[in-house]
A = this chain, B = another copy of it.
């Protein structure tokens, strides 16, 4: 992809021509990792986060600690899937370190607080969306309000803010919000599992919608109620941040997979501008045959910019990293978006391959521990 007169072979625009439409400034990006939680993650088979059910809630704070320290405080090891695949935060941290991009951790309802400084948004963890009462409406409103206020301050610090998330079960709650807002996202959201459990996710969302007494599009003009019924606490905080940042004239890269389309849908339903906002992810989400980020985005806004980075993980000899290219995890903790801005900030002196080599070094250190 061409940007600012330079060529970036590992970056591409997945739905537009090969130039950035969003005038991202790569000079001083800032990364905000929003950690959160929903009891929806406890539904068997819905997420790859956590080596077992009891550990799922530790994944978000452990990701935050890993960014701070290169190890976790609340877990003995780094967060892994039941198959032993590492958290994508290993990619995020490597890309941040290589490009000297600063980060902040934002807590939007994590059950466990990270043992590191974090920004509190005073949010509670989300309920299982099968209740039809996922997040208190007052909490949704607070998330939007605090997010907007904090986003305005962040916009004074940086022209480009990358927002990532760590919330197990988040693609299912994203599906809920998308459908409640009238976007036909059935069987289109991504998954951290190789075998995307679409049937289960669709069923869970339908159960929540039935409990809340709503149909596809019931809340197309009321995103607060959509999130309250079948969403999660991360969504209003990230949507609020994006609105506060973009309305102050800075750019937002929503760093994540299909979860981030729910944020785009919320912002659109709030009748706020999408002008300074894009999504940044990995090619493993963009190329995923079992989900359709492009299709979902097209249902919200024509020509919404989505960018993807190729990290060449299929070339790695480390099985835990190679697995990402084979459909495990794929993206998360802002890995794709942060890699994109790291490559842009380093203006060509960093590529997907060179990031991979550094990730492998980090991975080997972890394995040795």
Contact = CB atoms under 8 A, between A and B. Distances in A.
Interface of A: 28, 30, 68, 100-104, 106-107, 113, 115-122, 146-147, 149-150, 153-154, 156-158
B117 A120 contact: yes
Contact of A122 (B100, B104, B113, B146): B113
A119 B117 contact: yes
Contacts of A113: 120, 122
A102 B157 contact: yes
A146 B101 contact: no
A30 B149 CA distance: 16
A30 B158 CA distance: 11
A217 B342 CA distance: 48
Main secondary structure of the interface of A (DSSP, over half): mixed
Given A30-B157, A157-B28, A146 B102 contact: no
A104 to B, nearest CB: 7
Contacts of A153: 102-104
Nearest to A147: B117
B119 A118 contact: yes
A103 to B, nearest CB: 6
Contacts of A101: 156
Given A28-B157, A103-B153, 17 more contacts: A68-B149, A102-B153, A102-B157, A104-B119, A106-B117, A107-B120, A113-B120, A115-B122, A116-B149, A117-B119, A117-B147, A117-B149, A117-B150, A118-B120, A119-B119, A119-B120, A157-B157
13 contacts: A28-B157, A30-B157, A104-B119, A106-B117, A115-B122, A117-B119, A117-B120, A117-B121, A117-B150, A118-B119, A118-B120, A120-B120, A157-B158
A158 B156 CA distance: 11
Nearest to A237: B117
Task: Name the residue in A28, A103, A117, A119 with the highest tally of chain B Cβ atoms < 10 Å from its Cβ.
Answer: A117
A102 to B, nearest CB: 4
Contacts of A149: 68, 116-117
A98 to B, nearest CB: 13
A157 B120 CA distance: 20
A159 to B, nearest CB: 11
B156 A102 contact: yes
Nearest to A107: B120
Contacts of A30: 157
Contacts of A116: 146, 149
Determine which residue in A107, A120, A147, A150 has the highest number of CB atoms from chain B within 10 A of its CB, and name it: A120
Nearest to A152: B102
Contacts of A104: 119, 153
Contacts of A121: 117
A115 B123 CA distance: 11
A20 to B, nearest CB: 23
Contacts of A103: 153
Contacts of A106: 117
A30 B153 CA distance: 10
Contact of A156 (B100, B118, B146): B100
Nearest to A151: B117
A158 B187 CA distance: 44
A14 B158 CA distance: 34
A116 B148 CA distance: 11
